[in-house]
Amino acid sequence: MNNLSLSAVRLLDKLKKNGCPVCSAQDEAVDTYLENLFYENVNNSAFRREFERSGGFCAFHTNLVLKYGDPSGIAILYTGLISLRNELNANRIDCRCCKISKESQDRALNSIAELISKDAFYENITTDVLFCLRHYNLLAKRIPRSHQNELISRQQAKLDELSLLLRGVLRKMDYRSSHEKLSQHEKLALTYAVKYFAGFAQLSECHVEG
């Protein structure tokens, strides 16, 4: 581990979680930002100026504002924003959460590519790690060609396993097997199948390009 960058070492914890580690990194970065925002930065003048220039948060991240924000913090931010409503269409900048999510995505992809290239990735992942389709495609472009076959084969093995579980779900939905209950793995497979295409992040930023 001594020859790994600090960002790669920090990413190792994400590999112990289920789902896509890149999505997990994005979630954590945005969650931390919003928690800190409403805890100590809501009255920060520099942040307020940036918030007002962006016209608030995007639709994807506004739901998280409602999750983390306290009534007084939300009132402070949006009272100022409402007062500027006639000026919001000019020179708007991107949502700050989108920027943080994109930066976190790039750091995570670069760190995973580093771990793979130094043969320090697969030994640290859980059996339930599955890259979402978008992050898998972005990652494949960043790793050495000599390591791509293993990434492809491991991802394909997880998708084959997922497909097998989904066929089990279909079989149990047949009236002849209606007495059988879905296993926890089959229930999880339904979630994984959907999130594989949409992303595992709590809010999939499909508008954030690679």
Residue 209: predicted pLDDT? 38
Within a 13 Å sphere around the CA of 202, how many CA atoms are in the beta-carbon half? 15
pLDDT category at 132 given cuts 50, 70, 90 is: very high
pLDDT band at residue 2, thresholds of 50, 70 and 90? low
Task: Give the pLDDT of residue 32.
Answer: 92
Q: Where are the domains of the chain?
A: 6-198
The whole-number average pLDDT for the span 66-75 is 88
Q: What is the pTM of this model?
A: 0.85
Number of C-beta neighbours around residue 146 at 10 A: 8
Burial of 170 (0-12, 13-18, 19+ CB in 10 A): exposed
**What is the model's pLDDT at position 208?**
36
Residue 33: pLDDT above 60?
yes
Which pLDDT does position 90 carry in this prediction?
56
User: Is the pLDDT reported for residue 65 higher than 90?
Assistant: no
pLDDT tops 90 at residue 127: no
**Banded pLDDT at 91 (limits 50, 70, 90):** low
Identify the pLDDT of residue 29: 94
If one compares 196 and 56, the residue with the highest pLDDT of the two is: 196
| Percentage above 70 pLDDT, the chain | 90
What mean pLDDT comes out for the span 116-144? 90
Integer Cα distance of 119 and 133 in angstroms: 22
Asked whether the beta carbons of 131 and 20 are under 8 A apart, the reply is yes
**Is residue 89 scored above 90 in pLDDT?**
no
